[in-house]
Amino acid sequence: MTQLTKLTDTYTLNNGTQIPIVGFGTWQTPDGDVARQSVKTAIAAGYRHIDTAFAYGNEKSVGAGIRESGIKRENLWVTTKLTNDVHGYDKTKAAIETSLQNLGLDYLDLYLIHWPNPIASRANWEADNAGSWRAMEEAQKAGKLRAIGVSNFRPKHIDALLKTATVVPQVNQIFLNPSDLEPEVVAYNNAHHILSEAYSPLGTGKIFTVPELKELAEKYAKSVAQLVLRWSLQHGFLPLPKSVHADRIEANTKLFDFEITAADMQKIDGLRGVAGLAADPDTTTF
């Protein structure tokens, strides 16, 4: 396990790039003042890693929050994602430029294919992903993307990508929390030196109702959120907690003054299904 001391500690990606070990998520954060202010609040609380996506509909507001934070661009890590209806080489080239414009940035730290097999590409997903990846590799070489990766990809989707890829994905962002450890995907990621990023690390809020987690949080004198985020870090994941409440945004940074015992880690690992499981990317309806 990486020694964990502060929010701005980093993991090293397979291309040598350093990524902060906790990110601030913006999925389901409303566009406009809410997104702008929550990003500013997160950066003020110490976050240096902001995660958004074109599909979230809030890239412009996230970009405004970044600019208004007063933190130098080179001290921030910003991720966004390719949306589902623009897979393929030409569409992906254009989508990268659109996201850069929306965010008001000259480059992105990480760009991900959001879903491997969306409805719009279902008849031709492998070829469409290959085209998107080629555009992303070119953008990375051009300095527009520091790192490139995927999201919601299962091993078969990455295997298909690697048939034509010249760059192994740096990141696979997946649904990871005590309810679903996605062991096969994580093992595959580890074997290929792909970092497992945890979206919905708090189980979209459902995790807070789990009695076993409440009991363990009390034991450590921490909130359930702090306990579960610490659990994620001790697994070597990169959690992306989301909140629009300043007090919770601040509280979710307090992860470095305690350590979960091996026995309690096992207890948490055994909670599969308590807050839902990852969606099957081959049967999603979007």
Tell which residue, 145, 165, 140, 141, has the closest CA to residue 153.
165
Q: With CA atoms as reference, report the closest residue to 18 among 76, 82, 59, 80.
A: 76
Instruction: Report the alpha-carbon distance of residue 270 to residue 281 in Å, rounded.
Output: 24
| C-alpha closest to that of 151 among 191, 105, 107, 182 | 182
> Which listed residue (47, 56, 111, 188) is catalytic?
56
Bridge-based pairing state of the strands 145-151 and 49-51: unpaired
10 Å CB burial of residue 233 (0-12, 13-18, 19+) is: buried
Torsion of CA 121, 124, 127, 133, to 10 degrees: 10
Is 199 a residue of the active site?
no
**What is the Cα–Cα distance from 83 to 200, expressed in whole angstroms?**
18
261: CB partners within 8 A, 6+ apart: none
List residues with catalytic annotation: 56
